[in-house]
Amino acid sequence: MSHTMTALSAALPLVSGWSVHSLWMRRRIEAARRDPLTGLWTRDPFEERARKSLSQKCQRAVLVLDLNRFKEINDTHGHAAGDAVIRETGQRLGRWAEEHAGVAGRLGGDEFAAIIPGYGIDKLRVDLFMLAGRLDQPVPFDGRPIEVHTSIGAAYYRTGTGELSTLLRRADEQMYRAKQRGGGWRIAHRLTVPAMSTVNGRRDGRRGTSGEAA
């Protein structure tokens, strides 16, 4: 009995140490999948979670968001101010998504995405109105407010009506149309053939296609 207790006592620090190491590794892996500036998921882990959400065969809304005239913020106030705007926008979006039992991510640059449960178009309109109001609040930086304006596109998903790539593409198109009219939000109700031309699977003119900062 005493030999068994001695062996167990000797093993406990090893087990404890391994558990701590495993926890540390899991946290390191998760941190690597988070955007360091906003804390949101980066593109790949966001899309993994979005696909899992869509697989539940429930109504969903997929959002794509973009900051209006973000280059002007960098040019006028400096890149540190631009980082502050990106950080605050991401954190505001992340909190909003959590409140709606959803997931948010930063796709790159000033482009963000989110997926939330859908409870009807009318409810989504209210949600987007509230989100736009939250995101468009000025961001304080170096003792002064920086005006922020966003464009939001949403694609409403009903069971069996689209893959994530299609939903993101249609939400992106609606975001672009909102941007063309100065901001705000728009919803794609039907997931038909993309209305705009495509380059490399993305809307023509979007970053990563022709090089235009759309």
Question: Catalytic residue positions?
Answer: 110
Instruction: Give the relative orientation of helices 70-77 and 79-99 as an angle to the nearest 10 degrees.
Output: 140
Concatenated DSSP letters of 65-111: EEETTHHHHHHHH-HHHHHHHHHHHHHHHHHHHHHTT-EEEEEETTE
Longest dimension (CA), the chain: 79
User: In sequence order, which residues have a C-beta less than 8 Å from that of residue 191 and are 6 or more positions away?
Assistant: 155, 157, 161, 162, 166, 167, 170
d(CA 168, CA 154): 8
d(CA 81, CA 84): 5
Range 21-27, long-range pairs (CB < 8 A, 24+ positions): none
Handedness of CA 205, 127, 156, 163 (dihedral sign): positive
